[in-house]
Structure 1
Amino acid sequence: MKDPISKELIFNYFSGNATALEKDLIDRWTTDSQAREQLFIWLVEWENQNIQYNANVDLAINRHFTRMDEQPAKTWDEPAAAQPMRRLHVQGKSWLIAAAVTLLVLAGGWLTRDHLRYEIYTTGFGQIERLTLPDGSKVVLNANSTLRVPRFGFGKTTRDVYMTGEADFAITHTANHQKFIVHTEKNFEVEVLGTEFNVYARPRRSRVVLNKGKVKLHYLKGSESDQIVMRPGDLVTFDAPGHASVRKTTNPANYSAWKAHRFVFENESLREICDLFEDNFGLKIQIPDSTLAAQTVSGSFTALNAEELFEILADDSGLSYSRSEDGKVITLDY
């Protein structure tokens, strides 16, 4: 008998086109752990084939210049008829209105300048986006993160990108050995030629994990600049003042497991896990008891969203919790 669950059915389900009967069939199928693993494998494949829509600003700009080129040029052979000069009387506080309008126009130009200079990719809470840059390098942008890529000259005169949040990089090596540099707002940058690494630059903490190749990490040590040459398996973390520490990790790929909706914790405190919920999902979890907050968790957990991950962790640890009336804050207790 043919297996009623197929990749075609699951892809149809991810697209939102499954019938109520098919959804019920999938719900019963995913009670098996092996079936859940297969579901997540197909989910990653489906996400790779169905990239989220991004506005094509480059195309819009090209259209704009095309329209300008197609407009007939003005001829200046015959002077236009003289128009009577009108005198503008500005009374009272009207000049303030004019000045305010001017400032708004200038401010708008300043705010949109970044969008003209950079292709900007942004993810919301709980979102993951996969990107292929013009030089062939691949980036997976984690939730609540931003990546800015220069529109002009990228891959020719520069391979500098600017990020906040967390991203996983697989950098293409170029024939001219051009450097690829990831800039962060945390007083450090990563310089590479061709390699795979993960950059985490959140407000509370920062780290860089190297999977393959070799990178050079530039950072501020007090008021002076310093650098670290990283080898595969190196994990560099920065504390709040910006001090760097280096250690080896036997499984660097675990730090990028979120790309497949898998969360791997190695003696992570509950407080640190709560920070992850706030950074990635916008969900605030309070732990009034400091002893409980210091307890550690280890293991690998697969979940599609914050609700599912939280329920798994709460069930495994045997902890109780309560929600605020608006549902935005969870308090964790014994």
Structure 2
Amino acid sequence: MEKNQDKQQIRRYLNGAYNSHEAKEMAESLLRADKEGILDDLADEVWEEALSLPEPSDQIKEQYKKEAQHLLESMQSQKRSFTKRILYMATGIAASILVIWGAITMKQQWDIQHITVAQATTGFGEKKELTLPDGSQIILNACSKLEYPSQFIGDKREVQLVGEAYFKVQSNPEQPFLIQTSDFQVEVLGTEFNVKSYAHDQIQSVEVENGKVQVTLPEDRIRLKKQEQIYLNKQSGEYSKLKRSENKVAAWRNGALHFYQTPLTDVAKELERRYHCKISFRQGEVFENLISGEHDNQSLESVLESLHYICGINYEKDGNQITFYK
């Protein structure tokens, strides 16, 4: 009995004779009909009925064509409507992406425009400690200048150095730390090292206490690791890479003086910066002495006496004026 009722309901649905309540019942009937084979039986009955019907007239055929055309147009309209919705969604997503990208770009531009350049300097005989925006710690030696931004943005942290400084850089592999000097560049990820690059000194140097650094010269690139140093001669363009057996990196932090094959002229400049004195060379005399060694005594007179006895350099001292002679 229920099977015949389901078949009647489906027939009413095919003929467009149903209400909302019947449509709900019809959906349940379809589920049962699929399981019980009613749909197959109904299809066979409809096919047999169609064969027994007389051939439609030309007028009815034309009406069928119009109805079919109307149905196709309705389907295409729905397809276009769906396509439009997809396009609207895509346009909305693209617009959202542009808004987000624009906001990020504006923030970056805002950050760049509002970044100020800070400057730390030291005078004669002065040392200064400071902490950079990224937490890196710096000690400046005498007569030095460090320029750095108020905040580090972008893919690198870059500072400018004139003079000498000891760096303890916070590690950040995503944002390398760069020190620019007048003659070379030092790049690190996070390490401890010393950079010496005074404008008027002949010898410049980089010394690594911990970690690794890369020194980029105009025509070369040198990598240094713990306890390695590089000494650069600005006048000849030559450099020497050395390894120390003892930890004496940046001895100046503890008041000591350290020289390695350093021209006497550079030694004189070092003493001027440390002791705030003025050193000159007697006119007409040429000094080609290269000084190596370390001096722990913080007295200027003690250093001058050491130069006299070890290197045979004479001196005259009048207040803070000193003259070297042979």
TM range (shorter): 0.5 to 0.7
Q: How far, CA to CA, are the matches of 2:276 and 2:115 in structure 1?
A: 29
Aligned counterparts of 1:198 and 1:250: Cα–Cα separation in 2: 14
Kindly tell me: are residues 244 and 169 of structure 1, through their superposed partners in 2, closer, same or farther at Cα, counting changes over 3 Å?
A: farther
Deviations 1:11-33 (A, max 9, x none): xxxxxxxxxxxxxxxxxxxxxxx
Give structure 2 stretches of 5+ with no counterpart.
1-113
Query: What value does the CA root-mean-square deviation take over the aligned residues?
Result: 3.0
1:315 maps to which residue? Answer: 305
Could you tell me how far apart the structure 2 residues matched to 1:129 and 1:211 are? Answer: 19
Instruction: Give yes or no for contact 2:256–2:294 (8 Å, CA) kept in 1.
Output: no
Distance 1:236 1:333 in 2: 31
Structure 2 residue aligned with 1:179: 176
Contact 1:181 1:189 in 2 (8 A): yes
Larger mean Cα displacement after TM superposition, 130-139 or 272-281: 272-281
Select between 291-300 and 270-279 the one with higher mean Cα deviation.
Answer: 291-300
What TM-score do the two structures reach when normalised by structure 2? 0.55
**Which residue in 2 is equivalent to 1:329?**
321
From the superposition, tell whether residues 191 and 296 of structure 1 become closer, same or farther in structure 2 (CA, over 3 Å).
closer
Q: Over residues 252-272 of structure 1, what are the superposed CA-to-partner deviations in whole Å (9 max), with x where a residue is unaligned?
A: 743401111122345655443
Aligned match of 2:123: 124
Deviations for 1:24-76, whole angstroms, at most 9, x for unmatched residues? xxxxxxxxxxxxxxxxxxxxxxxxxxxxxxxxxxxxxxxxxxxxxxxxxxxxx
Cα gap change, 1:193 to 1:242, in 2 (>3 Å): farther
Match of 2:213 in 1: 215
Query: Equivalent residue of 1:143, what SS?
Result: coil
For 1:238, what is the secondary structure of its paired residue? strand
The number of residue pairs the alignment matches comes to 207
Matched residues in 2 for 1:199 and 1:159: separation?
A: 16
Give the C-alpha shift of residue 167 in structure 1: 0.4
C-alpha deviations, 1:153-179, integer Å up to 9, x for none? x166541111100001111112x5420
Greater per-residue helix proportion: 2
- % same residue: 28
8 Å contact from structure 1 (residues 162, 183) kept in 2: yes
The 1:245/1:296 distance shift into structure 2, 3 A limit, reads closer
CA distance change for structure 1 residues 201 and 135 in 2, over 3 Å: closer, same or farther? Answer: same
The residue type equivalent to 1:233 in the other structure is Q
Pair member with larger Rg: 2
**In 2, are the aligned partners of 1:125 and 1:282 still within 8 Å (CA)?**
yes
Q: Is the 8 A contact 2:285 2:325 kept in 1?
A: no
Distance in 2 between residues matched to 1:253 and 1:191, nearest whole Å: 22
| 1:273 aligned counterpart, secondary structure | helix
Q: Name the counterpart of 1:159.
A: 157
Scaled by the length of structure 1, what TM-score is found?
0.54
Would you say 1:240 and 2:260 are equivalent positions? no
What one-letter code is carried by the residue in structure 2 that aligns with 1:220?
P
Cα displacement string for residues 72-116 of structure 1 (whole angstroms, at most 9, x for unaligned residues)? xxxxxxxxxxxxxxxxxxxxxxxxxxxxxxxxxxxxxxxxxxx97
SS at match of 2:248: helix
1:294 aligns with 2:289: yes
> 1:230 and 2:224 equivalent?
yes
Question: In structure 2, what is the equivalent of residue 283 of structure 1?
Answer: 277
